[in-house]
Amino acid sequence: MAKAGVIILLSLLLLITVSSFTVVEALGGRTPINDVKNNKEVQELGRFSVEEYNRRRQGRLRHNGGGTVALVFSQVVEAEKQVVSGIKYFLKINAMQGGLTKTFESVVLVKPWVKSKDLLNFSPSTQ
């Protein structure tokens, strides 16, 4: 009887330990976002990414005396999010440039409690 109690106790302890590792892993890991084409928040973050990229690029080009064709947002085609000190969104975006559809990857950090969003990265997709 005592052996059965010890086995149950050890099994319970093992279960608690394994489940706590799963929770810790999920907190910092990326989570896929489903149905991105119909997710208004994700699409707006994609639009923000393209507009912010254009704004920053236009400022650099004006400073250097050049010009270029701006990107035109089409849609976000893939997205993931990661909980950090806010929510970091990893977006794959289709945008038009000079009549051609191109794919870009962006990272946006959203901090809802201070109503801020910041474009951390925007670059041509490697895939």
Which of 88, 70, 90 minimizes the C-alpha distance to 80? 90
Token pair belonging to 73: 């947002």
Helix (H) or strand (E) run with residue 40 in it: helix 40-64
Average pLDDT over residues 90-100: 96
**CA angle (80 as vertex; 84, 40 as ends), nearest 5:** 105
* High-pLDDT (> 70) share of the chain, %: 73
Is residue 43 a part of any domain in this protein? yes
pLDDT at residue 16 in the model: 62
Domain CATH number, residue 68: 3.10.450.10
Average pLDDT over residues 44-61: 91
Is residue 24 a part of any domain in this protein? no
Q: What is the pTM of this model?
A: 0.74
pLDDT at residue 25 in the model: 44
Residue 6: pLDDT over 80? no
**Residue 100's domain spans which residues?**
31-124
CA torsion sign for 88, 41, 98, 60 is negative
Q: How many domains does the chain have?
A: 1
126 backbone dihedrals φ, ψ, rounded to 5°: -90, -5
Residue 98: pLDDT over 50? yes
Is residue 71 a part of any domain in this protein? yes
Is residue 85 a part of any domain in this protein? yes
Is residue 15 a part of any domain in this protein? no
Which of 78, 76, 83, 77 minimizes the C-alpha distance to 32? 78
pLDDT at residue 23 in the model: 47
User: Can you tell me the distance from the alpha carbon of 73 to that of 26, in angstroms, rounded to the nearest whole number?
Assistant: 31
Residues 6+ apart with CB under 8 A from 94: 74, 75, 76, 77, 101, 102, 103, 104
